[in-house]
Amino acid sequence: MTRLVKIGLLILSTQQLQGQEALRETPKPESPHLTPVTWNRLIQASDEPHNWLMYSGTFNSQRFSRLDQIHTRNVSRLRLKWAYQLSALDRAETTPLVVDGVMFVTEAPSNVIALDAATGREYWRYEHELPEDLRICCGRNNRGVAILGETLFMSTLDAHLVAIDARSGNLVWNREVADHRSGYSKTAAPLVVKDKVVTGIAGGEFGIRGFLDSYESRTGNRAWRTYTIPGPDHPDNQSWSGDSWRNGGSPTWITGSYDPDLNLVYWGTGNPGPDYNGDVRLGDNLYADSVLALDGNTGEMDWYFQFTPHDVHDWDAIQIPILADLNIDGNSRRVMMWANRNGFYYTLDRETGEFLVGRPFARQTWAKGLDESGRPIRVPDMFPSENGTIVSPPAAGATNWMSPAFSPRTELFYVMAFDGEAKFFIRDEEYIEGDRYIGGGQTQFLPIEEYTSAVRAIDPRTGETRWEHRVQPQTWAGLLATAGDLIFGGSVDGYFYALDAVSGDELWHISVGSQVRASPMTYAVDGNQYVTIAVGNVIYTFGLEAN
């Protein structure tokens, strides 16, 4: 496969820039017009594909849109329709929401902006004031909001959850979820479940104890909390030696999924802490590097599946679980699809947690394979060492937090994959509250350009890769699938592109001038389909050129 061809830079014309400036100078309307987003609308989000009502589009997190105005035969006619310059210079990792022609975008570090989805015109902006003593691991990120009724919900870097009036941008309520001075933070879009807001926590590199919360949408009062590390009154606490569970990490820093029929919330958990030194936390370290299935009303755990027991390579299982109903071996199964950071692809029964399919989808050297229950069969002597141990995948993983996609038309699972390796080191490190607590580290063994980065299409019934499209070098953009049989994605060297969902052939690309670290989405206004991607600190929106 060939890498994306560089054919020039996307340049906004003088007329486009003047047009945007004129829009900014025009008096803003008092408030955007939208119909309240009811729980019933969220359940049936796929029936209104002109909107994008939650982070992954729908509760099953397929990132599939039924819009097909843009398709394989006309995607080459995509042109820039508008661009919105974010004020913050931090990289944008947001996925916008669109509700009845109104777009809601988060801006780093913890701001929200309402835009006219057809023109990019700004309605209002909300800025959350942050303390100066933040302790964050991996960037001043914010990936999106949730909506219920006429209220938006956003996580903030100082570990708060805020509710914002979607019409005015005014603050409705503000709740502290955890103490940011201890290393807790929040970067992911929340998920609305009935009349509550489910939200995770970040901070796995600071020795936190992970949890998942649910808050009453009207009041901000906490409804339930489920710790992702069991306490000493639970039998699974024995999977942590001594008191290591107290600072064991297992954060929940990316948005999960939900099955309304089963009333189960599915959420991935991150690495145990310290990341690389497993000697101080002997055992499987439940429920780190797992997917949890929780009762949507109470937060009680229905089942769990641990991908990497006793992880010592920082292979967070925070990838977004994709849900679908598939015929497997002649039987209809409610499945969950998961390409994991550890290099293995999994298909699970989402009702029971039963392991159905598992095989490598990217380069991995740490396991001989998976046993009949899905537990890895480890290769000896692959743990971090004082002199360094070379292992695939690296800590960044065979994939990471960037969103995969699934098309019910092709019944293929699409993921941005990476074949790489790193040298892992171990060191002794004392836990100090609020300080990084990782117990080692890694170094790239070869230049990153020498490894393979690619979009891979996987058959969830077998785990086999149907095709790949290389996108070099290692790329952190998510994917979008559409009923036009297209897969949209981005690259680290500044390209936005569309692939044929069946074959993987590249059909269109354009230079957007900066690395893409977000996931694209699509929507329609007045019968016109648009595709939007956050790039650097700009929101770009594309549509078909006029005939």
* Positions of E strands within 86-170: 97-99, 102-107, 111-116, 122-127, 146-148, 151-155, 160-165
Q: What pLDDT score was predicted for residue 8?
A: 37
Q: What's at 61, amino acid-wise?
A: S
| pLDDT number for residue 63 | 98
Catalytic site includes residue 314? yes
The three state secondary structure string of 407-455 is: ECCCCEEEEEEEECCEEEEECCCCCCCCCCCCCEEEEECCCHHHCEEEE
CA-to-CA distance for 342 and 317, rounded, in angstroms? Answer: 8
The closest alpha carbon to 321, from 56, 520, 501, 47, belongs to 56
Q: What dihedral do alpha carbons 442, 402, 62, 76 form, nearest 10°?
A: -130
Report how far residue 289's alpha carbon sits from residue 252's, in angstroms, rounded to the nearest whole number.
10
Per-residue model confidence (pLDDT) at position 30: 65
b (16+ CB within 10 A) / e for 142-160: bbbbbbbebbbbbbbbbbb
Low-confidence ranges of the chain (pLDDT < 70): 1-30, 137
pLDDT at res. 5: 35
pTM score, two decimals? Answer: 0.94
How far is 393 from 415, CA to CA, in rounded Å?
15
Sign of the CA dihedral 300, 306, 310, 314?
negative
Length of the chain equals 547
Which of 116, 289, 311, 314 is the catalytic position?
314
pLDDT digits (tens, 9 = 90+) for 280-329: 999 999 999 999 999 999 999 999 999 999 999 999 999 999 999 999 98
